[in-house]
Structures are given as C-alpha cells and as structure tokens.
Amino acid sequence: MAFDKMELRDIEVWDGNFAAAQALRQCQIDVVSAYPITPSTPIVEGYAKFLADGYVEGEFVMVESEHAAMSGCIGASAAGGRVATATSSQGFALMVETLYQASGMRLPIVLNVVNRALAAPLNVNGDHSDMYLGRDSGWIQLDAYSPQEAYDLNFIAFRVAEDHDVRLPCMVHQDGFMTSHTAQGVHTMDDDTAYGFVGDFKPMNDMLDFEHPVTHGVQTEEDWHFEHKARQHNDLMTKVMPKIQAAFDDFEKLTGRKYNIVEKYDMDDADVAVVCMGTSVETAREVALEMREKGIKAGVVGLRVVRPFPFFEIQEALKDVKAIAALDRSSPNGAPGMLFNEIAGALFNTDTKALLSGYVYGLGGRDLTKKHLTDLYTELQANVDAGKVLTPLQQFIGVRGPKLAFL
C-alpha cells in the first residue's frame, strides 16, 4: 500500500468531527466529494489533510455546492467504490434532490450530517431540522450522541450500507457543536482492526466494469415507478434492521462497545420516560437519575436508528411505562412533532395505557437544561398520578415569552 498507517493511542481526545474524519480515513474512502459548511466542514478537511499527509489514498473533489457534492458522490458511487461526504443544515437542504436519487439508485454513500438548524432566520447551531428534512429520503439514518459514537457509527454505516442485500445510503448524525466541536475521550481501533470491520468494498452494478455496461437513473412512469419505490420501502422495512443488529453484535464482539437500535436507560422499572435524540439523551439520563432520588421512576429512550423507524423496538421499550414525553428538536411548523407522531403510531393498537405528550425544544442550539428536564419529568409524573395528560399535547420549552402550548 502506498499510504502510511497512523498510530493511535487507545484513547484519543477528539471532537465529533475529527472522530468522523478518522473513521473515514480508517475506512479508506475512495472518493470524497464535498463542500464546506459549518459545523461539518472539519470532517472533510480532516480527510483532505490525511490525504495530503499520505495517510489515505483516494480522490478528494472539492466541488462548488452541496448539490454538486452529492452529485459527485452519486457518480463516484455508481462508478464503483467507497464514497463519503459530510454536510449540515442549508447544505443538506440543497442536497435534498440528490438524496432521493442516491437512495433510488441504491448507492451506498455515507453522509455525515452534523445537525444544524435551518434558516430563516439563519443559525449555525445544532437542532434536528436537517435530520428531519431527510427522513423520507430513503436513507438509513443513525444518530450519534457523542464523539465516540460518531466514530463508531461510521463503521456501522459502511458495513450496513454496502451490504449487497441492503445497498442503501446511510447518514450518520451528530449534534452541531455540542458533539462536533466538543472534544472527549474516544476509544480507538487500530487501522487494521477498523478496516477489517468494514472490509474491502465489493462493487455492484459498477459503471467502471466495462464488460458489464449498466444504465443508472432511468425514467419510470406510472407503469413502473410504484414498483421501484415499493421495492425500496420493502428493503428498508425488512432488510435493514437485521443487518444493523448484526453489525452492532459484531462491533460489540470486536470493541466491547454495545449499541442498540433503540437505547434504553433506566427503563426496566420506569414509570415515566423521555424519548429524544442526540446530546439531549445524556442530559436526560443525568436528570432521570436525579428524579429517581426524588422517588420518580424516570427513564430515557434514545433513538439510535431514526430511519428505518424502529417501530417494534419503540413499542417494546415503552410498553410498560405510564407517561411518555416525545422531545422534538425541530419546529414541526403546524403539526405535532415527528417523534410524537411516530411514537403515537407505534403505540396505537397496542395494550399500552401510556399517556403521551410532546415537547419542542432546543431550536437553533438553545440549551436544554437540567431544570427543563426536571420540570418535564415532574409533569409526566403528575400525568401519571392524575391518570390523564394535564398539559396541552404540545409544549415549547426554553423559549422566551408567554407560555407556548397547543393541542
């Protein structure tokens, strides 16, 4: 090989961006086609620097927009090799057209999304608006809550996306700044172990196989389009979760780090549960323990896999709780939040008697404080005690001005 391996300490102090960049290096990405946007830029800068320093071999194509970044990724992936990029927010929004094309062509691109709010008004900080914008795009979406997870989930992403039974693109999400720019201890794998986990790229329908010319990106009308979309949905619904679980199992054997499709914290005997994503999970876990000292049996559920939505795993995780709060970090703009709706859909038609309420929080990087969560758990317990939801079904928390609540 014409590039050098990098000696890593067992524990490195990395922020989420650098952790993701290191994962891309260790996966030996063939082509990165990218465009800078805060706060995700350091991921592709990291890859570019590794390339410049001879720690990876490949092509870095610095294009002129995020739309072109994903377009280049699609061309490169269809040509037949390992492809990744990163983006956030407005860049993600600009990519949306091509996201559907990548998934429809079944190209296993990995996109690191460092979550950030969507304008207007403009904002560079973390919320989940971009993640929510991608949720119907046919991609697998994994959510990391910390730099460690941003590192680990990239390996999971390539392993699952490139599996010939799956062949779907995958996003790895992390929270802008809170994860991407916060340095923490990250347990590393050495280069050989890491690469061994994802393995060599196995091409499929690759344009560069000149003995087997392929046509990608056809036109289908009313006679074929529905069948192709149905096929893609079927594969997301039936094939992806078992592969993710298998990858998690293998990863645990390799590293000792255990991931679950739905993460449960203190849920065994919980009466009240918060369901959330990203860095909020850690805050909620801390508060849940404090609530338990006050006699409230609090727990936390975090989505590790956002798409495909873990319908049965959510049912299972919440089947015995009495009150649930769905925390959405994206303005639903005229509807209940996504998590509220998905949880309601999962629990409807089951025997649960759980009370469900929704909270919108943290837009544009607004902090979710321990006080917010303490109040929230207290409200949930009050709901349990009353046997009904005492608050409106949708409340905004942490916003200035008169109390904002609906439904």
Partner 1 sequence: MANTGWDEFEIGAMLRTFEGEAGNIAQTLQEDRNYTENSSFRASVADWRIEKPVFNKDYCIDCQFCWVYCPDISIISRDKKMIGIDMDHCKGCGICVEVCPTNPKSLLMFPEQADEESVIAQWPSKEEKEK
Partner 2 sequence: MSEMKKIKNLKEFSTSADRFEGANLLCPGCAHSIIVREVLNATNDDLVLSASTGCLEVCTAVYPYTSWDASWIHIGFENGSTAVAGAEAMYKALKTKGRLKQPDRNPKFVSFAGDGASYDIGFQWISGCMERGHNIMHVVLDNEVYANTGGQRSSSTPIGSSATTSPAGRVSYGEKKNKKDMVAIMASHGIPYSAQVAPNKWKDMVKKIQHGMEVDGPVFINAVSPCTTEWKFDPKDTMLLTDLATDSLVFPLYEIIDGHELNITYRPKNVVPVEEYLAAQGRFKHLFKDEYKYLIKEWQERVDANWAYLNRREEARV
* List of residues contacting partner 2 (CB under 8 A): 2, 30-31, 33, 57-59, 61-65, 67-68, 71-81, 83, 97-98, 101, 203, 206-211, 213-221, 224, 228
Shortest reach from residue 140's CB to partner 2, in Å: 20
Side by side, which strands form the sheet with 355-361? 262-265, 298-303, 272-276, 323-328, 355-361, 394-397, 405-406
Question: Closest CB to partner 1 among 139 and 177?
Answer: 139
Question: Closest CB to partner 1 among 103 and 125?
Answer: 103
- How many C-beta atoms lie closer than 10 Å to residue 255's C-beta? 17
From CA 233, how far away is CA 84, in angstroms rounded? 23
Shortest reach from residue 203's CB to partner 2, in Å: 8
Cis status, amide bond into 108, omega within 30 of 0: no
From CA 219, how far away is CA 206, in angstroms rounded? 19
Question: Closest CB to partner 2 among 71 and 395?
Answer: 71
Residue 97 interacting entry, from partner 2, partner 1, none, C-beta within 5 to 8 Å by type: partner 2
Question: Closest CB to partner 1 among 7 and 211?
Answer: 211
Shortest reach from residue 41's CB to partner 1, in Å: 31
Amino acid in position 198: V
The conformation of residue 122, written as its DSSP 8-state character, comes to: P
Question: Closest CB to partner 1 among 11 and 214?
Answer: 214
Residue 8 interacting entry, from partner 2, partner 1, none, C-beta within 5 to 8 Å by type: none
Shortest reach from residue 322's CB to partner 1, in Å: 41
Shortest reach from residue 201's CB to partner 2, in Å: 8
Name the β-bridge partners of 275. 301, 326
3-state secondary structure of 38: coil
Write the CA distances from 121 to 90, 177, 212, 249, integer angstroms.
Answer: 12, 18, 49, 43
List the structure tokens of 241.
């979760």
- How many C-beta atoms lie closer than 10 Å to residue 143's C-beta? 26
Shortest reach from residue 230's CB to partner 1, in Å: 4
Shortest reach from residue 234's CB to partner 1, in Å: 7
Question: Closest CB to partner 2 among 109 and 281?
Answer: 109
List the structure tokens of 109.
């691109």
Q: Do 321 and 350 touch, CB atoms closer than 8 A?
A: no
Residue 6 interacting entry, from partner 2, partner 1, none, C-beta within 5 to 8 Å by type: none
Question: Closest CB to partner 1 among 232 and 378?
Answer: 232
- How many C-beta atoms lie closer than 10 Å to residue 28's C-beta? 21
The conformation of residue 259, written as its DSSP 8-state character, comes to: -
Residue 79 interacting entry, from partner 1, partner 2, none, C-beta within 5 to 8 Å by type: partner 2
Write the CA distances from 77 to 135, 172, 201, 287, integer angstroms.
Answer: 21, 17, 11, 44
- Rounded-to-10 torsion of CA 4, 6, 7, 9: -170
Q: Please name which of 172, 148, 180, 216 lies closest in space to residue 38, comparing C-alpha atoms.
A: 180
Question: Closest CB to partner 2 among 98 and 179?
Answer: 98
Question: Closest CB to partner 1 among 217 and 295?
Answer: 217
Shortest reach from residue 3's CB to partner 2, in Å: 9
Shortest reach from residue 310's CB to partner 1, in Å: 23
- Provide the binding-site residues for partner 1, judged by CB under 8 A: 104-107, 167, 205, 210-218, 220, 223-224, 226-228, 230-232, 234-235
List the structure tokens of 367.
């902090």
